[in-house]
Structure 1
């Protein structure tokens, strides 16, 4: 199972497929608020050690469900399969760790400047 950047991580979010049409699959995202239309998800077969079944792209978000369109498949997607989604990386400047470091560094620098006077 490969993505553009390598293997799908083991901690990828796993979702149960509720229904399957000819070319779409519907699933509930539950707490995964980071899922958006345009993201790629992967259908895997848990009976065959998570063998890759298909690649899908999320095309629509209904009230409590997401609809994903099959873009490439090895075998037919069924409700026995699961979807894996990789959470996108957050840019470094949007992380809490960066801002805590910037704020504490600013405070230490300001305190050092005051003491040096």
Structure 2
């Protein structure tokens, strides 16, 4: 016996916002994919078919439906990641990468940069 998932109920405004997100060239691809998943769920497609369409598992489809139900459109955005913050800023990292790619580095070059305080162990 095949179990069918409950159809996701959307207001007209939510459907419109999800359609805009689906068609947005500037949003991160993962957010666009989540909007597409929700629109298919609202159209009554089974989780297995939605999952197959987007290369995810049926529990992932359930997860995004639940998160949308609990948090609305804001729930489609990635949450902050745990762990240590990035080391250094983009400018310092770009300079370091340029030196590594275009110069023969001194054996202690990275230590010198770190000693100057330009590449800290953590941004505070």
| TM-score, length-scaled by structure 2 | 0.22
Which one has more relative contact order, counting CA pairs under 8 Å at least 6 apart?
Answer: 1
Larger Rg: 2
**Higher-helix-fraction structure:** 2
